[in-house]
């Protein structure tokens, strides 16, 4: 599987980054089978969070043996310094590690949350202290929503984050305003040598009233052809990689698509964006 440099961290991350949201509710034996699939595919980067159900508990037993294999990223939805510090300690314990390669402000979706994280006594202060003490190596920020690319341009003006995580797919990019902001953020990250993780790559749209047939909170594409197209589209941008879908049945398809990634040229990407107009975007 192709590897790309994760910004100034220097880590060569696989273009598929294991999104541990797939372990929301799962028995350890089943989680172990998934971890074997992830390792067999060559994935070397994990994205996990306390808000991902049982994920920390299920990945933890693997870390004493496999910690050197993975660039391990965790995150917090706490917004105060003390709350963030306490949650970080719990995550370190559950994941059976003495440090994180990356720790992120999680689900920052609007200016109010960004303000709360970056004020004196906010969550960011805890991350800076933790980095100084060697508990984390790099600091990042993640977010969902149509306004997140623009918001993260502002975030990068406030603090020199090492990574950003934001949504990008061919349907969302059919919104001209989102596309303009997303491309501006990607360019800024390249300039600042910031690692870029993409989420919602294989999103078809919101569930709405449909019966949910996957554990993702959005409806994913499930046909291999569409997943391959979606992965080819996202990875054709200058990003580090994509977080795999939060569903253990969709995961192997996304891993296969990442292994078979074929870059799209500008004309092909434009055609994909045009085709995305027939779908309802996840974020408006």
| DSSP annotation string for 213-237 | -SSSSSEEP-SHHHHHHHHHHHHTS
Residue 69: burial class (beta carbons within 10 Å; 0-12, 13-18, 19+):
middle
Establish if 194 belongs to a structural domain. yes
**Distance between CA atoms of residues 222 and 201, nearest Å:** 12
What is the per-residue pLDDT across 157-209, written as a single tens digit (0 to 9) for each?
A: 999 999 999 999 999 999 999 999 999 999 999 999 999 999 999 999 999 99
So what's the pLDDT on residue 42? 98
Backbone angles phi, psi at 109, to 5 degrees: -115, -10
**Domain range enclosing 211:** 3-278
So what's the pLDDT on residue 23? 98
CATH code for position 129 = 3.20.20.100
Q: What is the mean pLDDT of residues 109-121?
A: 98
Establish if 179 belongs to a structural domain. yes
Task: Using the structure block, give the residue that is written with the tokens 């949504």.
Answer: 167
End-to-end CA distance of the chain: give it in Å, rounded: 33
What is the per-residue pLDDT across 28-78, written as a single tens digit (0 to 9) for each?
A: 999 999 999 999 999 999 999 999 999 999 999 999 999 999 999 999 999
Q: What is the mean pLDDT of residues 100-127?
A: 98
What is the per-residue pLDDT across 199-228, written as a single tens digit (0 to 9) for each?
A: 999 999 999 999 999 999 999 999 999 999
Query: For the chain, what is the domain count?
Result: 1
Query: Which pair of tokens denotes residue 25?
Result: 């509710």
Q: Is residue 11 within 8 Å of 45, Cβ to Cβ?
A: yes
Across the chain, mean pLDDT equals 98
What percentage of the chain exceeds 70 in pLDDT? 100
Establish if 99 belongs to a structural domain. yes
Backbone angles phi, psi at 257, to 5 degrees: -65, -40
**Measured between alpha carbons, how far is residue 141 from residues 154, 197, 224 in Å?**
12, 10, 31
User: In 230-264, which positions are buried (b, 16+ CB within 10 angstroms) versus exposed (e)?
Assistant: bbbbbbbbebbbbbbbbbbebbebbbebbeebeeb
Provide the CA 175 distance to its chain's centre, in angstroms. 21
So what's the pLDDT on residue 171? 98
Query: Which pair of tokens denotes residue 15?
Result: 């273009």
Establish if 220 belongs to a structural domain. yes
Establish if 284 belongs to a structural domain. no
Q: Is residue 154 within 8 Å of 143, Cβ to Cβ?
A: no
SS3 159: coil
**Distance between CA atoms of residues 76 and 201, nearest Å:** 22
So what's the pLDDT on residue 5? 98
């Amino acid at each position: 599987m192709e590897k790309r440099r994760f910004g100034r961290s220097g880590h060569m991350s696989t273009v598929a980054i294991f999104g541990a949201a797939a372990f929301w509710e799962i028995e350890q034996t089943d989680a172990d089978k998934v971890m074997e699939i992830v390792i067999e595919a060559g994935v070397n980067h994990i994205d996990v969070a306390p808000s991902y159900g049982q994920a920390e508990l299920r990945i933890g037993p693997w870390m004493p043996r496999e910690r050197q294999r993975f660039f391990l990223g965790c995150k917090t939805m706490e917004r105060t310094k003390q709350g963030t510090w306490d949650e970080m300690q719990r995550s370190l314990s559950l994941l059976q590690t003495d440090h994180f390669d990356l720790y992120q402000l999680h689900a920052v979706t609007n200016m109010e949350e960004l303000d709360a994280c970056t004020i004196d006594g906010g969550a960011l202060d805890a991350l800076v202290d933790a980095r100084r003490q060697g508990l984390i190596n790099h600091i990042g920020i993640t977010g969902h929503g149509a306004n997140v690319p623009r918001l993260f341009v502002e975030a990068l003006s406030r603090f020199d984050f090492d990574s950003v995580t934001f949504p990008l797919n061919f349907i969302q990019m059919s919104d001209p305003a989102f596309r303009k902001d997303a491309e501006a953020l990607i360019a800024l990250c390249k300039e600042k040598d910031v690692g870029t993780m993409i989420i919602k790559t294989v999103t078809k749209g919101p569930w709405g009233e449909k019966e949910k047939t996957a554990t993702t909170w959005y409806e994913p594409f499930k046909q291999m052809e569409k997943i391959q197209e979606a992965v080819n589209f996202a990875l054709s941008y200058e990003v580090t990689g994509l977080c795999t879908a939060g569903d253990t049945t969709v995961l192997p398809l996304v891993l296969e698509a990442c292994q078979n990634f074929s870059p799209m040229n500008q004309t092909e990407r434009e055609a994909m964006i045009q085709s995305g107009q027939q779908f309802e975007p996840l974020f408006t």
